[in-house]
Structure 1
Amino acid sequence: MAAAHRGCVLAAYLLLLFLTGCLARIHKLTLKNETRFAVDLNNFGFYANGTLDVNLLYLRLPIQLVNYSVYPVGFSLSRSRVNGVLSYTAEETETCPLTLTKSTNNEPLILFIIDVNTLSVNMRAMGEQNNLLITKPKPEAPKSQKKTREAPVNLDGGKQSENTDKKAENTDKKAKNTEDEGNHDKKLEDQKKAQTEEKKTPVEEAKKPEENVFHLEKTKQLTMALDRVNGSYNFSFHFIVGSLAEGLYSLKFHYCQNRLPGIRLPYSFTVEVKEKNPAGFLSAAEIPLSRLYICMAGVFFTAALVWVYTLMKHRYSVFKIHWLMAALAFTKSTSLVFHSINYHFINTEGHPIEGWAVMYYITHLLKGALLFITLALIGTGWAFVKYILSDKEKKIFMIVIPLQVLANVAYIIIESTEEGSSEYYLWKEILFLVDLICCGAILFPVVWSIRHLQEASSTDGKAAMNLEKLKLFRHYYVMIVCYIYFTRIIAILLKVTMPFQWQWCYEFLVEVSTLIFFVLTGYKFRPASNNPYLQLPQDEDDVEMDEVVTESGALEGISKVKKTSNGRERQKESTL
């Protein structure tokens, strides 16, 4: 047990190496020699007046000649109704989304196609648009003739030109003075209006000099400026969600040339993405999570106190595993508290505070290890049926506990890694596989305990007690199966079908199901003297010699010898 705790703490500190550069909802992703044809940069649920800032700092494309009109490069911003369901199905049909001419289901779809030949970015807006786009448009081409005033040239000595210049300057100064005096009042009025209207709307806050605001409901096509510095390209845009266009938006980068079989041209880019809702930096589905976690922490803490009170009230029927269950409840409560604090700082600052984040990672690892240790010990019947674990049961612990630590590490890395990085999907697959293995392996000890009790009920003559314990472990097996199916399958299906602003209910259902599972487990294995599952049979004729006392946890591990007349006669018969 102590070794598992030390391993969890060590793993949490090792995770700091991965988390120092992570900026949560203020993203900065750098990819070098990337070959994927599509990179998922982020998914974020926007309410009305939510803002998205995208700043492509660096983009270097391969040297090979590519027909960018046929295989374009750029970004796509699409709205999906629910998580994991895209608003278009272009990727499924092996068609590059940047080549689309209309939205398949009239959902908002905005394409930013980079044209390196003309140093421009072509924006195309499709579907029903109620959004605003703030960007720097491409400057117009310089005119061949410009109206400029030139000084006359004097070949003799230049005195005449100097005089004419001075006269021109004097006339200009007089004209400027008269204009300044005439427009002085107007300037003061303009300054007062600017001060009163300052920071009035998100559009005015985000608007910069040399940038324009475009209503995508009217502007369906736009040519933006693309800057080139030392062979790399950069541009930026600011996106504001309209009141009728809120939803879950997906931002992706596409390099359509790599969709062809056998072609993997490497490219590199660095992009900064900053999403924000009016209430903070959290997505629409994550805004209630801070309050949810702190409330559930209070509920779990109350349940832990009730459990400790029960243990103190029936102290003579308490086993070691009961205190382990209490430690699990307190660790779960502490983990939820740090999780709530972590989300609070992400919402206010845009990134977590390292100290609070590390505390959450440590308690999350401890909670995961304690949960599976407790489930495995109860499943083997330790302290309720037997005190010694068999070799194959010990192997289950040696396999499940390290895998569970690995699963928790994978979960923390996923939470702290940019969605666009290739490591994100690797650890996501590891988490899914390891979690399934752990959930499947934890059922084996329960099955072995049920089989052991079935065999014992027909051989040792204690059928009544063994059948009662058999019912207990059958109920416990059904509880574990229902808990695994609900938290791993049913809740995920509900998350996919829910609207974007209600997807926090997935976390609510998981926490409530965990609480119900804890309460039912504690009730079934409560340390009460009248618990039928923990009682010995009252018929002394059925009690054999050297039987282990299991009625009281205070006498745990102590054996007794029944010296009855029947026992002495059996000993005499055996000696004869």
Structure 2
Amino acid sequence: MAVAHRCCVLAGYLLLLLLAGCKARIHTLTLKNETRFAVDLNSFGFYANGILNVSVSSLKLPTSVNYTSFPVGFTLSRSRVNGVLSYTAEETGTCPLTPPKLTNTEPLILFLINIDTLSVTVKARGEQDNLLIAKLKPEVAEGEVRKTRDDNPPEHPPPDKQDETKPQDNKDTKSGDKSDKKADEKTMPEVETTVNLTNTKDLSLALDKDHGSYSFSFDMVVGSSAEGLYSLKFHYCTNRMSQEKLSYSFSVNVTEKNLGGFLSAAEIPLSRLYICMAGVFFTAALVWVYTLMKHRYSVFKIHWLMAALAFIKSISLVFHSINYHYINTEGRPIEALAVMYYITHLLKGALLFITLVLIGTGWAFVKYILSDKEKKIFMIVIPLQVLANVAYIIIESTEEGSSEYYLWKEILFLVDLICCGAILFPVVWSIRHLQEASSTDGKAAMNLEKLKLFRHFYVMIVCYIYFTRIIAILLKVTMPFQWQWCYEFLVEVSTLIFFVMTGYKFRPASNNPYLQLPQDEEDVEMDEVMTESGALEGISKVKKTSNGRERQKESTL
């Protein structure tokens, strides 16, 4: 247990260090000397009138690259589900920013950066119903204003424009006007303009330059027919299409917001879901404590451990709900509450696997000493569970675009699978031991009952792991974006069912076959000897149990 204590202390230090960089739904990512050809910045589910704000700054690109042949920029794709988007599954050696990819009719917006002309070319493809708000190039802004006037001509021209309609006979005056217009275009400031992407497919944004670094920004308002899951990515096609790996740097600030707050469409119901499930788990924990008090003479230490697990699970869900509430209202969590949530989440995960291993080994029910093999399982499961929870915390507090994000995501997936596999070994060992004992000792019928119980427990664990790790995830990637919160609902409901069934199977009751098994082999032999002698017929053996109560074992004859 000293190893578990050291792991928990280390996890506590990591909690305090990592939470300082937590940015929640207001995302800030800085990449320096990056060489990846694609960076997943973020995914977010937008309802109608949702707002996306993207601000790119400190962009530094190698000047030796021909960005016409090897484009660089951002893609903003839209999908109705969380599955693999067609624009994010590019083949090796191709670039999603190149023209051949633009023949697809699915919604896509490209932002192609051109440092030579100091512009960002926007190409909207597929069905669009979004408003783009950005600083356009002067000539583009003037064209957009003129196009708006042509679409909605005024009944009476403005006074300052009436003189322009009169014929001018003086050629010098005409030439002077032209020169003035050219001068005005050079000095015309970049203006922020609202453009409807439904009618406009191509336009140019202004790219600012300051001491060798570039910056630009834009806002987008989602239309009523453009709701969906949006995925923002950065692409540096030079490193994809050539062997030479060049480095680049930039900082990006992304703010996403629906009308109700900063949560994605799939996350809006989570705060209410978690607080409701916390109430359900708390009620189940109270019922379990009442059952323990009612059958206090059949209660073992592990029963109270199961009660502690239910209470910690409830408290963890409460902090999780509060966490999402503040993210929705302020865009980021309160650090103190986030620390409490992560601590309870870590304790819940470690306590769950410890309880399952103890039940599987029969500790406190049948024996009080763990074998060497069972101790090794604890030495593996406890540190791995701490590592898995630390990986989860790092993922929660790290931006999706950072390279460490995917590393810790893979570590979490691998460690979780190892832990799930490890907790099955004690149950398998118990089943094998009971199979051997049922054919050798005198309590074959009772051993068969306990064998049946362990088999049910094994099936329950396998079903729980299979559903929460595979089935629920498959449902998540196939559901519409606004219903993906159902994944969390299914996981919590399946956890509740698993807790209730485990408590029912191993409840403290006099008729539970798990608790009726003799405490050691000496009891079995003594019972057999006493019943074989006719002189001792009717005599029963009395043995004091661990909780101080005298249990009377009557003879079978």
Provide TM-score, normalisation by structure 2. 0.84
* Residue-by-residue CA offset, 1:7-41 (whole Å, 9 max, x unaligned): 43541342221221221110110011100000000
**Range 344-353 or range 452-461, more displaced:** 452-461
1:54, distance to aligned residue in structure 2 (A): 0.4
Partner of 1:396: 377
Shift of 1:246: 0.5
- Quote the residue 1:76 is aligned against: 75
Q: Corresponding residue for 1:232?
A: 213
Q: Which whole-Å CA distance do the structure 2 matches of 1:563 and 1:314 have between them?
A: 21
The more displaced of 379-388 and 324-333 is: 379-388
Deviation at 1:107, TM superposition (A): 2.1
Instruction: List 4+ stretches of structure 1 deviating above 6 A.
Output: 546-551
User: Residue in 1 aligned with 2:404?
Assistant: 423
Instruction: Quote the Cα distance in structure 2 between the aligned partners of 1:550 and 1:306.
Output: 31
2:59 and 2:251 in contact (8 A); partners too: yes
Larger radius of gyration: 1
**Secondary structure of 1:33's match?**
strand
Structure 1, residues 160-200: CA drift from partner, whole Å, max 9, x if none?
Answer: xxxxxxxxxxxxxxxxxxx9xxxxxxxxxxxxxxxxxxxxx
Question: Using a 3 Å threshold, how does the CA distance of structure 1 residues 71 and 536 change in structure 2: closer, same or farther?
Answer: closer
Distance in 1 (alpha carbons) for counterparts of 2:220 and 2:342: 34
Distance 1:549 1:502, change over 3 A: farther
**Corresponding residue for 1:40?**
40
Task: Describe the SS at the equivalent of 1:383.
Answer: coil
2:344 corresponding residue in structure 1: 363
**Structure 2 counterpart SS, 1:238:** strand
* Residue identity opposite 1:381 in structure 2: G
Partner of 1:554: 547
Gap change, CA 1:47 and 1:289, over 3 Å in 2 = same
- Equivalent in the alignment of 2:30: 30
C-alpha separation in 2, matches of 1:488 and 1:549: 48
**Structure 1 residues 418 and 563 mapped into 2: Cα distance closer, same or farther (>3 Å)?**
closer
Q: Deviations over 1:494-520 (max 9, x none)?
A: 001100000000000000000000000
In the alignment, what sits opposite 1:292?
273
CA contact (8 A) 1:25 1:350 kept: yes
Pairwise CA distance, 1:459: 1.6
SS of alignment partner, residue 367 of structure 1? helix
- Asked if structure 1 preserves the Cα contact closer than 8 Å seen for 2:138 and 2:191, the reply is no
Which residue number in structure 1 is paired with residue 149 of structure 2? none
Q: Tell me the residue number matched to 1:525.
A: 506
Equivalent residue for 2:257? 276
The answer to whether the Cα contact below 8 Å between 1:59 and 1:233 also exists between their aligned partners in 2 is yes
Aligned partner of residue 366 in structure 2, secondary structure: coil
**Partner Cα distance (1:5, 1:515) in 2:** 28
Q: In structure 1, what is the equivalent of residue 91 of structure 2?
A: 92
Structure 2 residue 434 is matched with structure 1 residue 441: no
SS in 2 for 1:544: helix
> Partner of 2:298 in structure 1?
317
Q: Which residue of 2 is the match for residue 256 of structure 1?
A: 237
Classify 1:436/1:549 alpha carbon distance in 2 versus 1 (closer, same or farther; 3 Å).
Answer: farther
CA distance in 2 between counterparts of 1:378 and 1:2 reads 21
Question: What are the Cα deviations for residues 367-416 of structure 1, in whole angstroms up to 9, with x where unaligned?
Answer: 00000000000011112232221101100000011001100110111111
3-state SS of 2:138 partner = coil
Q: Aligned to 2:198, what secondary structure does the other structure show?
A: coil
Deviating more after overlay: 95-104 vs 405-414: 95-104
Give the Å deviation of 1:210.
Answer: 2.5
CA contact (8 A) 1:41 1:252 kept: yes
- Give how far 1:545 is off: 4.1
Counterpart of 1:344 (choices 325, 350, 353) is: 325
What is the count of residue pairs matched by the alignment? 495
What is the one-letter code of the residue matched to 1:40? D
Cα pair 2:51 2:219 within 8 Å, conserved:
yes
Indicate the larger mover: 343-352 or 256-265.
256-265
SS at match of 1:98: coil
SS at structure 1 position matched to 2:21: coil
Equivalent residues of 1:316, 1:552 under 8 A apart: no
Identity of aligned residues (%): 81
Structure 2: which amino acid aligns with 1:131? N
What code does the residue aligned with 1:98 have? Answer: L
Residues 546 and 334 of structure 1: is their aligned pair in 2 closer, same or farther, counting only changes over 3 Å? farther
Given residue 384 of structure 1, which amino acid in structure 2 is its aligned partner?
F
1:230-289 Cα offsets, whole Å, 9 max, x none, are: 100000000111100000000000100000353211111111000000110000000000
Question: 2 CA distance for matches of 1:451 and 1:298?
Answer: 39
Q: Tell me the distance in 1 between the aligned counterparts of 2:131 and 2:39.
A: 24
Matches within 5 A, 1:508-547: 508-536=489-517, 543-545=524-526
1:481 match: 462
8 Å contact 1:102–1:127 — kept in the other structure?
no
Displacement, 1:521? 0.3
Write the distance in 1 (CA, Å) between the matches of 2:418 and 2:197.
Answer: 49
- For the 8 Å contact 1:52–1:239, the answer to whether it is kept is yes
> Is the CA contact 2:543–2:551 (under 8 Å) kept in the aligned structure 1?
no
What does residue 308 of structure 2 align with?
A: 327
Q: Is the 8 A contact 1:90 1:97 kept in 2?
A: no
- SS of 1:49's equivalent? coil
In the alignment, which residue of structure 1 is the partner of 2:335?
A: 354
Distance 1:385 1:512 in 2: 31
Q: Aligned partners of 1:358 and 1:2: how far apart in 2?
A: 24
- The SS at the match of 2:91 is helix
Q: Does 1:132 align with 2:125?
A: no
Q: Choose from 212, 216, 220 the match for 2:201.
A: 220
Secondary structure of the 1:454 match is helix
User: Comparing 99-108 with 319-328, which one deviates more in the overlay?
Assistant: 99-108
Q: Distance in 2 between matches of 1:5 and 1:293?
A: 29
**Counterpart of 1:122?**
121
**SS of equivalent residue, structure 1 residue 20:** helix
Contact kept in structure 2, 1:27 and 1:273, CA below 8 Å:
yes
Residue type of the partner of 1:390?
S
Q: Distance in 2 between matches of 1:536 and 1:88?
A: 61
1:549–1:497 Cα change, 3 Å: farther
Gap runs ≥5 in structure 2: 141-159, 161-188, 529-540
Tell me, yes or no, if the aligned pair for 2:21 and 2:398 is still in contact at 8 Å.
no
Task: Give 3-state SS (helix, strand or coil) of 2:250's partner.
Answer: strand
CA distance in 2, matches of 1:300, 1:3: 30
Match of 1:374 among 355, 366, 371: 355
User: 1:4, CA displacement in angstroms?
Assistant: 3.7
Could you tell me whether the CA contact under 8 Å between 1:79 and 1:87 is conserved in 2? no
Deviation sequence 1:337-396 (CA, Å, 0-9, x none): 000000000000000100000000000000000000000000111122322211011000
CA RMSD, Structure 1 to Structure 2 (Å): 2.7
CA distance in 2, matches of 1:104, 1:306: 61
Contact residue 535 and residue 550 of structure 1 kept, 8 A? no
Q: Is the counterpart of residue 432 in structure 1 residue 413 in structure 2? A: yes
User: Once the 2 structures are TM-superposed, how far is the Cα of residue 100 of structure 1 from its aligned partner?
Assistant: 3.4
